[in-house]
Amino acid sequence: MSNELRKHAACLLTAAVLPIASVAQNLPHDSMDMATALRALILAGSQVIPKESSCDGYYFTIGKATVADMLAVRMSGLDSGSNSVTGRCEGKQCAVEIRHRGGEGREEDVSATTIRFEMRKGVARASTMQCVMTP
């Protein structure tokens, strides 16, 4: 991934997580869970997604895609419409969902990503990731 794309991905990730992290202390328990799941995934950004994983895809790079590549591409459609980024953990098992639906008159613009993973020491393990990703 080029430096420019890395910066773009970093901006997207920062934008996605900052509002959550900044208010996390005042939110109920499930929101802390959400921050935990998102943080674990973001910290795994440089990990390579295994070829056999359902999360593998052609993101910015041909060849070895990283978790950051996947997140950047799947979040790149969240600049308009109705969007949500949610997460949860039960013990070491976590899931993050990225949902998008276009706004008025643009309802056909739909995308959805669910990333399930196991975390170790607060970091997602790419080798355990499973994705439901459409379209």
Partner 1 sequence: MPITFSALQASVGKSIADLCPNNFSTPAESHCAHYVSHMLDLRLGLLCGDMAYTTRRSGASIRVDEIYNRLLRKGPWVDCPDCSDGLLIFVTSPQNMTNGVMRSAPAKHVGIHYAGTVFHFSNSLHKVVTDPSVEAFHSKFQRAYGRPDLALYFGAAQ
Binding site for partner 1 (CB under 8 A): 54, 57-60, 62, 70, 73-74, 76-77, 80, 99-100, 102, 105-112, 132-135
**Residue (39 or 115) nearer to partner 1, CB:** 115
Kindly tell me which of 47 and 54 has the beta carbon lying closer to partner 1: 54
Q: Which is nearer to partner 1, 113 or 119 (CB)?
A: 113
Helix H or strand E encompassing 111: strand 110-120
Nearest distance, CB of residue 93 and partner 1, angstroms = 15
How far apart CA 99 and CA 122 sit, in angstroms, is 24
Q: What beta strand segments (E) does the chain contain?
A: 82-90, 93-101, 110-120, 123-124, 130-134
